Chains A and B, each alone.
Chain A
Amino acid sequence: MMITRAAVLRHVTRRAILATSARITPTAALTSFNEQRFQSTAVAAESTSRSSSLTPSSSIEKKPFVATPERQYEFFRNVEINDQGVALIQFDCPGKSVNTISFAFAKEAQQLWQTEIHNNSNVKAVVFTSAKPNMFIAGADIFDIKQIENKQDLIPLIQDGVEFFQSWKKEGLPLVAAIDGPALGGGLEWALWCDYRVCSDSSKTKLGLPEVKLGLLPGFGGTQNLPATVGLQNAMDMMLTGKEIRPDKAKKMGLVDLVVAPASLRQAALDAAAQLATGKLKPKKKPKSWMNRLLEDTSMGRSVIWNQIDKMVKKNTDGHYPAPFSIIQCVQYGLENPAARFKNEREQFSKLAATPESQALIGLFEGTTALKKQDEQFKVPNLRKVDTVAVLGAGLMGAGIAQVTAEKCGYSQILLKDRNDEAVARGQAYLYDNWTKKVQKKRMSDYQRNKNFSSVVPLTDTTPSWKQHFSKADVIIEAVFEDLTLKQKIVADMEAVTPDHCVFATNTSAIPIRDIAANAKRPENIIGMHYFSPVPNMPLLEIIPHEGTSDETKAIAFNVGTKQGKTCIVVKDVPGFYVNRCLGPYLVEVSALVRDGVPLEQLDKSIKNFGMPVGPVTLADEVGVDVTSHVAKFLSNADLGVRMTGGDVTLMEKMVAKGWLGKKSGQGFYTYGKGKNAKKTISPEVQSFVKQFATQKLTLDEKEIQDRIVSRFVNEAAKCLEDGVIADPVVGDIGLVFGTGFAPFRGGPFRYLDQVGVAKYVDMMNGCVDKYGPQFEPCQLMKDYAATNKKFHN
């Protein structure tokens, strides 16, 4: 049979080896950011962090463990050996609902093995499982990795672990992993060292190696054992994207041998172990298709795979993320040098752990996790349970908010109200279509979609019962047109029909919250919740209390936002709040560079190379030139003073006048062709418009362009910290990374400053002051940090 090269390539590409993190697609937001990355990390994060990564272990009041006959081990239940000689080892990290592998855990595991299994002739087979429901092992403890100053010191620790795993094999005992709940990172690596894996079909069960999302690699043999288990293509897909595999898929790809109901899991594993011991059951490898054999097991086939992977990774990381390349190196090295493969893996791991990229990603990950728990900070006893949320306005924003609320919060109903049937129906269609896409991708069942859809109650002024519905509302999120009088009127209207406890959240990007609350009867219930568009994809939510907002209102806003899957940051009620405020000077500087004669393509390229998902020119087009112009104009008239000068934002105003509104109108800075593969070009018309606008023709190198734009951005972030607009650098970093796509591998503006050195950065900015003007003046806080050599993150 003839195979064409194209067919082979298609086959490889179909397996879509997306490189990690950096797959960032521009969206019609005030920039974009790949949600999946941090959100899915956050799942594992929530677990790991609770254990230790966030709270320094010293702060945990921890009693030293004292062994008793009932509980001989700290991290494990007592080993049970049944009459068939199967030893059951159960993970059970004390005092929490998750299991994570810390170095202490690993050490005790070895001790347990020595005492109970090694040289114990009663033991014929071993089953590993968890004593906790819906939880196998959520991953390795990041705190441990962070704690170790010199990452080289990780090597012997990892070696110890891998040798322990290898020692199991020497016993010649069949090993079975029984998985219910997440088996992620180190948890899956643990299971991969076993001979046989059984998992439950619970919706909580998911298997994956998400290390890449933290700029790391699976260091406990994962890069070696996974390809051997599921084949090269599946393994690379899993390790490079960090995706989580559901039970049915895991069975199909050979990642697990058996899928059973949760209640049957333990018995199925014990039976399998006993049968493996007697030889009645033999672990069977999933047979490969001839195509996969050709691709994965021949040198020619492999080179095709590596070529494709290399291309994809380069495209998706822009060369900013080292981890995917290390993962590829580990796998390739392992195929060539079987003897030294684990040694190589841990060396690569320790190298990655020392990279600024990994530290930045871990910083973001920890920050996100910490922010998820913020509502606790308000310490409101018996916080009212939210049951009904109302969304006013079924436009893109309102529908998006309704979508995430219906999909994620589990409230009994979401009221969606707009002017007329057509408007509400458009909103309903938006969320229904988004869910249908998920159904098609098998990320949601038909039932879940229909149930979600049914929880959204479409209402208009002519629905006879709308007031009855609103009399049950606990939270209202208003997403109507940006008009103060209108918003005030809505506050009054809503106060008349809603219960006294109802929180009124306003989704505004420009109007001060205190003004919206000015005439309210219950101003303490009013708060700002600034979402980013498109709401389902953008992970950030700015929460803006005004001075009179009560703690209960704040806590409820946090609760709702966090349940919606958003990372919430509290921001002071100032023009632009935090994210848009930082974008103001950035936009001004872009206009300044256009005026200085820098070509548009060069602007985009420089900023993309810095690590932003899209360049500023493309950004303006994506968001809409009109919207961008509006933001720039609004902030120019606000309180930023000299920091909004130095450019000429009429650039965009003039474009709006010409009807060049960006991608949506087919013409912005770029001209957008029709059709799927149409390329964007710069038309002669735009060329001459830009030329007319330019007052000089400076030739700037990429670094200078980056410095000019980024420093304005970063300085405004620092100024926000100085002015208390944001509480701390963690919030500041997360805000700009999640809100604008600020290069994630740099960890946000504050970590970036730390990594470059504040003093050096201040010097650079002072140079710009001399060259271009006072708009580059670094804020006082930066000067102070520079003077004392202080860092924002310790």
Chain B
Amino acid sequence: MLSTLRTSTATRIATRHLSSTAVDPVVVVGGVRLPFATTSSIYHDQMAVDLQRLAIHGLLTQTALDKNLVDYIVCGNVIQEVRTSNIAREAAIQAGLPHSIGAHTIAQACISANAAICTAAEKILTGHASVVIAGGCETFSDVPIRLKRPIRQKLITMPKAMKKGGPLGAVRHLLKGLKSNDLGLETPAIANYTTGEVMGVSSDRLSAKFGVSRREQDEFTVRSHTLAAQAHQDGFYQDEIIPYKGSTAENGIKGDSTLESVSKLKPAFVKPNGTHTAANSSFLTDGAAASLLMSESKAKELGFKPWAYLRDWSFKACDPFEELLLGPTYCSQQVLTRMGLNMEEDIGVFEIHEAFAGQILSNLTAMSSQKFADDNFNGKMVGKVDMDKMNTKGGSLAVGHPFGATGSLLLTTASRRLQQENQRFALIAACADGGLGHACILERYDN
């Protein structure tokens, strides 16, 4: 009874917020992803733009949306291929969308797709668009590997030297002052630029701070794989994944993982006594996803049956030196507070990005820690997440984490779970490099 009362209060509050000024609310109409796959496996010969193209094409196939109705396209992408720096535009054109549709690309590390989705929502709310495709893509199968800076500099100034001194002059220019150390290659590292720290090390540090043990992390990892495998087996993902070469299988999911097998692995980042291993960290993943967002009135007009309202979102950031991946806690707090929702009582579906088991468990600990609340939120705890409601279809640890695409997956899975599990509100949260975070609230759409 109390819960019903609360829910209706919450609904009232939610409805008041953002839609109070008679705005046409934003609805999630559809979403798909290509099967996420370990790097250099099934997509080894594809470019990220190809993956995004296939995801957009898949979204159009799945929703039967007339491509002429799309107003805008926005996609997330992190490790950039220079030739496709505005990857959203190239993917859209190659997916056969009309040339007249504008597009831009967002880089916000692991929450790039979330940023794309919320940008789409803002466009809809401000009346600048009513049908937007928001997605994201990533490939680690073809990262830019570069020559070192001194050689790059020499190559760039080479034509000048050539003009001046001919081929001989060019060679002299190239060799002048060259050190053996300048030879060699630069490969991109998954590290923060400002702190110079590798993500895994930051997360390991965070886990130690919140007292998350290796065993807890390993247990959580096994849970993720088991649930993801189960979801695939149950056919939950059937309508969410666009087959690639006839298959919807996701090759990163290891349904037969056991605590025993996972606990055998050695630490991967902080050696010898760190807690983060190759298993309890998300793996390098290739993949792409796309979501379809509309204004409610447009969805109705076109006869679509939306899954959910996208009610509110937060992109707060925190200290990248000390708590690089703690963003979800801060953002969840902000968005819940703003909407007047109580996490423990109102949220029926949680989809929280699993960058590292240690990172997500640290966040869960922070959310339910009175001390943390006292230190940061004037004593108001975010709340305790009910594990039976969180990431019940697996998470990034098992499915994989193509940086630019994960946000779209979270949105799709959360929206579909709201419908299937008949819950009212969903909370999506994710961390990102730079101390960035994201959280958003969905509300089930009743057709």
Q: Is the CB of B96 within 8 A of A455?
A: yes
Q: Is the CB of A465 within 8 A of B248?
A: no
- Mask, A214-249, CB within 8 Å of B = 1, is 000000000000000000000000000000000000
Instruction: Compute how far the CA of A457 lies from the CA of B64 in the bound complex, rounded to whole angstroms.
Output: 10
Q: Is the CB of B94 within 8 A of A450?
A: yes
User: Which residue on A lies nearest to B53, using beta carbons?
Assistant: A450
Instruction: Compute how far the CA of A454 lies from the CA of B248 in the bound complex, rounded to whole angstroms.
Output: 19
Q: Is the CB of A454 within 8 A of B246?
A: no
The smallest C-beta distance from B332 to any residue of chain A, in angstroms, reads: 32
Q: Is the CB of A463 within 8 A of B61?
A: yes
Q: In the complex, which residues 351-401 of chain B have their Cβ closer than 8 Å to any Cβ of chain A?
A: none
The smallest C-beta distance from A401 to any residue of chain B, in angstroms, reads: 19
**Interface residues in chain A, defined as those with a beta carbon under 8 Å from any beta carbon in chain B:** 412, 421-426, 429, 447, 450-451, 454-455, 457-459, 462-465, 468-469
**Interface residues in chain B, defined as those with a beta carbon under 8 Å from any beta carbon in chain A:** 50, 53, 57, 60-64, 67, 93-96, 238-239, 243, 245-248
Which B residues lie within 8 Å of A463 (CB)? 61-62
Instruction: Compute how far the CA of A451 lies from the CA of B53 in the bound complex, rounded to whole angstroms.
Output: 10
Q: Is the CB of B61 within 8 A of A464?
A: no
The smallest C-beta distance from A367 to any residue of chain B, in angstroms, reads: 36
Which B residues lie within 8 Å of A458 (CB)? 61, 243
Given known A-B contacts A451-B96, A455-B96, A421 and B61 have beta carbons under 8 A apart: no
In the complex, which of the residues A425, A450, A451, A464 contacts B243, with contact meaning CB atoms closer than 8 Å?
A: A425
Instruction: Compute how far the CA of A455 lies from the CA of B60 in the bound complex, rounded to whole angstroms.
Output: 11
Instruction: Compute how far the CA of A455 lies from the CA of B98 in the bound complex, rounded to whole angstroms.
Output: 12
Q: Is the CB of A451 within 8 A of B245?
A: no
Can you spell out 22 A-B residue pairs with CB atoms less than 8 angstroms apart? A421-B243, A421-B247, A421-B248, A422-B246, A423-B246, A424-B243, A424-B246, A425-B243, A425-B247, A426-B246, A450-B53, A450-B94, A451-B93, A454-B57, A454-B94, A455-B96, A458-B61, A458-B243, A463-B61, A463-B62, A465-B62, A469-B64
Which A residues lie within 8 Å of B96 (CB)? 451, 454-455
Q: How many A-B residue pairs have CB under 8 A?
A: 48
The smallest C-beta distance from B29 to any residue of chain A, in angstroms, reads: 12
In the complex, which of the residues A412, A423, A447 contacts B94, with contact meaning CB atoms closer than 8 Å?
A: A447
Q: Is the CB of A425 within 8 A of B246?
A: yes
Instruction: Compute how far the CA of A726 lies from the CA of B64 in the bound complex, rounded to whole angstroms.
Output: 42
Which B residues lie within 8 Å of A412 (CB)? 67
Instruction: Compute how far the CA of A463 lies from the CA of B239 in the bound complex, rounded to whole angstroms.
Output: 8
User: Which residue on A lies nearest to B96, using beta carbons?
Assistant: A454
Chain A, interface SS category: helix
In the complex, which of the residues B50, B245, B248 contacts A429, with contact meaning CB atoms closer than 8 Å?
A: B245
Instruction: Compute how far the CA of A447 lies from the CA of B238 in the bound complex, rounded to whole angstroms.
Output: 30
The winner among B57, B64, B245, B248 for most chain A CB atoms within 10 A is B64
Q: Give 6 nearest A-B pairs by CB, closest first.
A: A425-B246, A454-B96, A468-B64, A465-B64, A450-B94, A422-B246
Which B residues lie within 8 Å of A469 (CB)? 61, 64
Which A residues lie within 8 Å of B239 (CB)? 464
Q: Is the CB of B246 within 8 A of A462?
A: no
Instruction: Compute how far the CA of A635 lies from the CA of B245 in the bound complex, rounded to whole angstroms.
Output: 39
User: Which residue on A lies nearest to B245, using beta carbons?
Assistant: A425
If A429-B245, A459-B61 are given as contacts, then 6 extra A-B residue pairs at C-beta distance below 8 Å, sorted by A number, are A421-B247, A422-B246, A425-B246, A450-B53, A458-B243, A465-B63
The smallest C-beta distance from B110 to any residue of chain A, in angstroms, reads: 28
User: Which residue on A lies nearest to B63, using beta carbons?
Assistant: A465
Instruction: Compute how far the CA of A412 lies from the CA of B95 in the bound complex, rounded to whole angstroms.
Output: 12
Instruction: Compute how far the CA of A61 lies from the CA of B226 in the bound complex, rounded to whole angstroms.
Output: 80
Instruction: Compute how far the CA of A464 lies from the CA of B50 in the bound complex, rounded to whole angstroms.
Output: 24
User: Which residue on A lies nearest to B58, using beta carbons?
Assistant: A458
Instruction: Compute how far the CA of A422 lies from the CA of B93 in the bound complex, rounded to whole angstroms.
Output: 27
Which B residues lie within 8 Å of A421 (CB)? 243, 246-248
Which A residues lie within 8 Å of B243 (CB)? 421, 424-425, 458
Q: Is the CB of A454 within 8 A of B238?
A: no
User: Which residue on A lies nearest to B50, using beta carbons?
Assistant: A450
Instruction: Compute how far the CA of A308 lies from the CA of B243 in the bound complex, rounded to whole angstroms.
Output: 50
Instruction: Compute how far the CA of A329 lies from the CA of B94 in the bound complex, rounded to whole angstroms.
Output: 49
Instruction: Compute how far the CA of A451 lies from the CA of B95 in the bound complex, rounded to whole angstroms.
Output: 6
User: Which residue on A lies nearest to B61, using beta carbons?
Assistant: A457
Instruction: Compute how far the CA of A249 lies from the CA of B427 in the bound complex, rounded to whole angstroms.
Output: 59
Instruction: Compute how far the CA of A469 lies from the CA of B57 in the bound complex, rounded to whole angstroms.
Output: 14
Instruction: Compute how far the CA of A137 lies from the CA of B206 in the bound complex, rounded to whole angstroms.
Output: 75
Instruction: Compute how far the CA of A791 lies from the CA of B316 in the bound complex, rounded to whole angstroms.
Output: 88
